[in-house]
Chain A
């Protein structure tokens, strides 16, 4: 009973307000903190597997993965982060149509990113990077082919990030629909800010993934 009344009370506090520490925002931050640990664990495991394999057991990533394409994908996510902050800025100034435009651009950026990732995976799979094997031909380094953890770590980490982008695009579409229906105003827009937090986090994680998986 006591619990229920506390909940009701919090819902009263959770009025559409522009206080910097609205509960929804705090909730998203707590989720993101947890998600950071998920990615942190994946990347730490990747480092452990790679260091354990030694120089002979691990292909330098640039011999298998295309840096140019993923550098462009990084650029794309940075751009979509900028359009996201622009969308928030627009609605804070009360400009709904501008917010919808920028949200649309952010969604487009997410879609193109996903499309490129599908293309990249398809290309890699057809060239022999699977969950158990690395490409048998075209490698400069003298590494052990056959059983190799390059594929599983690559697909697990980029796949987990890709799922986050997919979720983010769906989340953004929901917010855009709300926006088109006129839900947000200069006074009520913290939901836009919260989706922005999630989207920037996806960008931030990609910066890390790009560095650890592709560049190092």
Chain B
């Protein structure tokens, strides 16, 4: 019953304009060439904002019980852990150096 009260349109069109605007900002941020780290932070931030808008308003999370929000947030936290746990594998110095040398050789042989 309490549901009927908040069913009166959480201004869906406003959310639409926000999503559209953020998409345009995203593309604008992505096109110029600059630090990939900064770009990644900006883009992931913008994408998360859009995803949050969809979940909170279109999927009505704002009007659900708090328990459901806890269930929904869980996989995102686990995904962050997943990436963090993959990090050591990605940043080991030996591995990166080992990759760059043969790569240069391959480029040389293909050019003649």
Contacts and interface: CB of A to CB of B under 8 A. Distances in A.
Contacts of B51: 204, 207-208
Contact of A84 (B26, B36, B58, B68): B58
Contacts of A207: 47, 50-51, 54
Interface in B33-87: 36, 39-40, 43-44, 46-47, 50-51, 54-55, 58-60, 63-65, 68, 71-72, 74-76, 78-79, 82-83, 86
B30 A216 contact: yes
Given A20-B3, A20-B65, A207-B47, A200 B59 contact: yes
Contact of B78 (A29, A37, A85): A37
Contacts of B71: 29-30, 33
Nearest to A61: B30
Contact of B13 (A48, A62, A71, A82): A82
A36 B12 contact: no
A211 B42 CA distance: 10
A54 B103 contact: yes
B95 interface: yes
B23 A216 contact: no
B82 A44 contact: yes
A57 B13 contact: no
Given A40-B82, A216-B30, A203 B54 contact: yes
Contacts of A54: 96, 99-100, 103
A18 B2 CA distance: 10
A215 B12 contact: no
Contacts of B1: 18
Given A40-B78, A57-B99, A67 B30 contact: yes
A215 B59 contact: no
Secondary structure at the A interface, as helix, strand, loop or mixed, is helix
B26 A211 contact: yes
A211 B7 contact: no
Interface string B7-20: 10100110110011
Interface stretch (A73-81, A158-166, A176-184): A73-81
10 contacts: A18-B1, A18-B3, A36-B75, A44-B82, A48-B89, A56-B104, A67-B27, A67-B31, A142-B107, A215-B27
Interface of A: 18-21, 26, 29-30, 32-34, 36-37, 40-41, 43-44, 47-48, 51-54, 56-57, 62, 67, 71, 74-75, 78-79, 81-82, 84-86, 89, 92, 142, 144-146, 193, 196-197, 200-201, 203-204, 207-208, 210-212, 215-216
Question: Top 6 A-B pairs ranked by shortest CB distance?
Answer: A40-B79, A215-B30, A211-B47, A36-B75, A51-B90, A56-B103
Interface of B: 1-4, 7, 9, 12-13, 15-16, 19-20, 23, 26-27, 29-31, 36, 39-40, 43-44, 46-47, 50-51, 54-55, 58-60, 63-65, 68, 71-72, 74-76, 78-79, 82-83, 86, 89-91, 95-96, 99-100, 103-104, 106-107, 110
